[in-house]
Structure 1
Amino acid sequence: MRISKVYSWFYGYYPWMVVFATTLVLFGSLSKSNNNQDEVPLKASKFQKPLRLPNKGYGYPPVLAYWISGSKGDSNKMVRVLKAIYHPRNQYLLQLDSGSSDYERENLGFLIESETVLQTFGNVNVEGKSYAVNKMGSSALAATLHAAALLLKINSDWDWFIPLSASSYPLLNQDDLLHAFTFLPRELNFIDYISNPGWKQRGEINRIVVDPNLYYKSNTPINYDVETRKPDAFEIFGGSPWVILSRSFMEFCIYGWDNIPRKLLMYFTNVAYPLETYFHTVICNSFEFQNTTLSNDLRYDIIPKSPKPKILNTSKYGEIVAGESVFAQPIQEDDPLLNMIDEDVLHRMPDNFVPGSWSSCQGINQGEDLCYR
């Protein structure tokens, strides 16, 4: 009887022990981003010129901080995305997760190092370390926060954080995008709220989830545990996992000078699909940021209603380019849709960068300052 009672007590508290332990792992991962100098990725090449800061102030374009993430077999796709969104003003961080091999990560660094333009301006970084990530679990949220923390450590003089995947592609060249963002309030956050988001349809928001990828070295499925009650201390909001977030809001989430981000991080550590809810809930429950949102993620995205992801193709081309979206996803590698966007929208030649006002500055020392304007 004694053994039975002990087992019953342990079983009743086991999910909460798992929640506590997993949260500690997530906090530890984020703390390493802020405190460990070894976590800062090196430039693609030691021969790159030192980072030059672009002109800032009223009337000058903003600086965008892009994080391009991928997995096994995505190196070439990531480089193509980089060339399609490159501009000397911006900051770029490329990262492959643990689904990729050491060779793929080294090859990605080599591909970046071999581009003279990228070495000239020195604003592209490749993360040499890999982390296990499951898009359904809190490891995806941890990876996003980690990437933003690295970009802040490399150079905090940027205005918006834009996460992209290897399957994303731009629908607007960077000159036009920077011009469009020039006179927008720098504290504006682009978060798309969905009235009936996927997490509501799936009914998973109240379930405890354990993501082993926070402490495993290889990509692993998440584990579901028992049901738990919906929190009553805050209201949950959700929508698209793709966002464009201001630097001030990312600093708020990472440095945590208010208790809200960390309190919510503890909750969403053990929730499925936290990228669909965490940033939305933090910003709507924060007095400082709740009036800084625009309910639009500027993406043309297919939200799958089935486990099998849907892919954009040429049949959607007219609809894609006719809208207000700035990025489209997901698109398969070498899909004809990419070539159509390159030719008709971006005017990008194969394997080249998208031409822009900075293009004439390449390799001309006396004109380099113009490239940062």
Structure 2
Amino acid sequence: MKRSHIPPLLDRKWLAPLLITSSLSLLLFLSFSLINAKFPPPASGFSGGGSSSELPRLPRLAYLITGTKDDGARVKRLLQAVYHPRNYYLIHLDLEAPEGERLELARYVKSEGVVREFGNVMVIGDADLVTAQGPTMIASTLHAIAVLLKRAKDWDWFINLSASDYPLVPQDDLLHIFSYLPRDLNFLEHSGDLGYKEVERARPIIIDPGLYHLKKSGVFYAKERRSLPASFKLFMGSAWVVLTKPFLEFCVWGWDNLPRTLLMYYTNFLSSPEGYFHTVVCNHKDYQNTTINHDLRYSRWDNPPKQHPITLTMEHLDDMVRSGAPFARKFEKDDPVLNRIDKELLMRLDGRFTPGAWCMGSSRAGKDPCLVSGSPIVVKPTLSSRRLEKLIANLLDPETFRGKQCK
């Protein structure tokens, strides 16, 4: 079986993304040819290798899974829940996590037979320091994207997940539905109406000690406050995104001044992940029409919203399912609702991968079917894919699609 060129363990720290000048690539404008396309019903399985003229090519997803101290077990469980041999996975436990947790994840990646066979999981060995409200979080995310751009060259969408996230659909469902989407759609919840965030996020000037210290601490506020910028418009929204590779190449390689300018601006911005990608995408003509105003997560918020969403429990499960979202956040460690999601939505047993068409072993007598791996270009969507299909169709409704872009 063909193996990925990605090594299972990243033993040294890659440099932070360098914003360098290169020739401007000609990018295709957003195609609407598939917006009204009908999704085929879940079937016994179909190939995504492109051999059939009637079926689109399956995409590849590049995941960043992040955690901090005491998150090693949660990150491992999340990796098992979202694993598919077609995708790529980069795991980062920040500097606050003890080295033992990081090494334990690296040992798991090296020892797990399926992961070793496909070689599509990396663990960052030399961790970044990440503070929740400072620019170190967006710097760490850009660092991870730079690694994925360098080490995994054929993916389509980037998805960031934290240890408190969990999937609501199997990867076969997600790959199946995404195979019918134009490859230039960027999913990020965003708005130019800042509301209370203008006062609490945009006008304060903060200093993040994490930029020059090796120990996590809170951010410092300057006495001065700043006015809103005149050369670009601020957009803010969810820090959790599904972004295309071409857009992220634009952000990292920086052949235009906009990503560099905004990176400097957001260095002193409170909760920069809530605005950096949103402001870049909505201020550039080549990307502002590629946005879908949704982060593909189910979450619940206080009113008025706090820094983090409400912790999800069993009472929220029905709403999660009805939402059609492929992911939900945030969950407490080992909350019973995660076991329900495993059993009823993912068909996953404890300590095993979420099964898919690539799992070719026998499930009789309690055996793990994923111990025997088959082709990674065949998926078998479940009935749950219908909920995701409905969500995507609503987001692409021609009557509302344009009206929610960068407004």
Q: What TM-score do you get using the length of structure 1 for normalisation?
A: 0.82
Matched, 1:116 2:103: no
Instruction: Name 2:239's counterpart in structure 1.
Output: 241
Question: Alpha-carbon deviation of 1:301?
Answer: 1.8
Is contact 1:71–1:97 with CA below 8 Å preserved after alignment? yes
Runs of 4 or more above 4 Å deviation: 54-58, 194-199, 361-364
Question: Alpha-carbon deviation of 1:211?
Answer: 1.1
Is contact 1:298–1:327 with CA below 8 Å preserved after alignment? yes
Question: Alpha-carbon deviation of 1:333?
Answer: 1.2
| Partner deviation per Cα, 1:43-69 (whole Å, 9 max, x = no partner) | xxxxxxxxxxx9579722100000000
Q: 2:227 aligns with which of 226, 229, 243?
A: 229
Question: Alpha-carbon deviation of 1:112?
Answer: 2.1
State the number of aligned residues.
324
Matched, 1:158 2:163: no
Looking at secondary structure, tell me which structure has more helix per residue.
1
Question: Secondary structure at the residue paired with 2:206?
Answer: strand
**2:211 maps to amino acid:** L
State the distance in 2 between where 1:127 and 1:223 align: 28
Question: Alpha-carbon deviation of 1:160?
Answer: 0.3
Instruction: Name 2:18's counterpart in structure 1.
Output: 31
Matched, 1:268 2:266: yes
| Partner deviation per Cα, 1:105-124 (whole Å, 9 max, x = no partner) | 11111122231111111101
Question: Alpha-carbon deviation of 1:303?
Answer: 3.9
**1:259 maps to amino acid:** N
Question: Alpha-carbon deviation of 1:100?
Answer: 0.4
| CA gap 1:319/1:195 in 2 versus in 1, 3 angstroms | farther
| Structure 2 unaligned spans of 5+ | 1-14, 22-47, 362-369, 379-407
**1:164 maps to amino acid:** L
Alignment of 1:243-258 (within 5 A): 243-258=241-256
Moved more, 62-71 or 317-326: 317-326
Instruction: Name 1:356's counterpart in structure 2.
Output: 356
Q: 2:89 aligns with which of 84, 87, 92?
A: 92
Identity percentage over the alignment?
A: 42
**1:283 maps to amino acid:** V
Instruction: Name 1:211's counterpart in structure 2.
Output: 208
State the distance in 2 between where 1:207 and 1:262 align: 21
State the distance in 2 between where 1:336 and 1:220 align: 32
Question: Secondary structure at the residue paired with 1:65?
Answer: strand
Alignment of 1:301-340 (within 5 A): 301-303=299-301, 305-306=305-306, 310-340=310-340
Matched, 1:344 2:344: yes
| CA gap 1:322/1:147 in 2 versus in 1, 3 angstroms | same
| Structure 1 unaligned spans of 5+ | 1-27, 35-53
State the distance in 2 between where 1:360 and 1:334 align: 29
**1:275 maps to amino acid:** P
Question: Secondary structure at the residue paired with 1:83?
Answer: helix
State the distance in 2 between where 1:309 and 1:300 align: 10
Instruction: Name 2:168's counterpart in structure 1.
Output: 171
Question: Secondary structure at the residue paired with 1:360?
Answer: coil
Q: Kindly report the root-mean-square deviation, in angstroms, between the aligned alpha carbons of the 2 structures.
A: 2.3
| CA gap 1:324/1:255 in 2 versus in 1, 3 angstroms | same
Matched, 1:81 2:82: no
Question: Alpha-carbon deviation of 1:198?
Answer: 7.5
Is contact 1:312–1:331 with CA below 8 Å preserved after alignment? yes
Is contact 2:16–2:146 with CA below 8 Å preserved after alignment? no
**2:154 maps to amino acid:** D
Moved more, 199-208 or 168-177: 199-208
Question: Alpha-carbon deviation of 1:155?
Answer: 1.2
| CA gap 1:116/1:202 in 2 versus in 1, 3 angstroms | farther
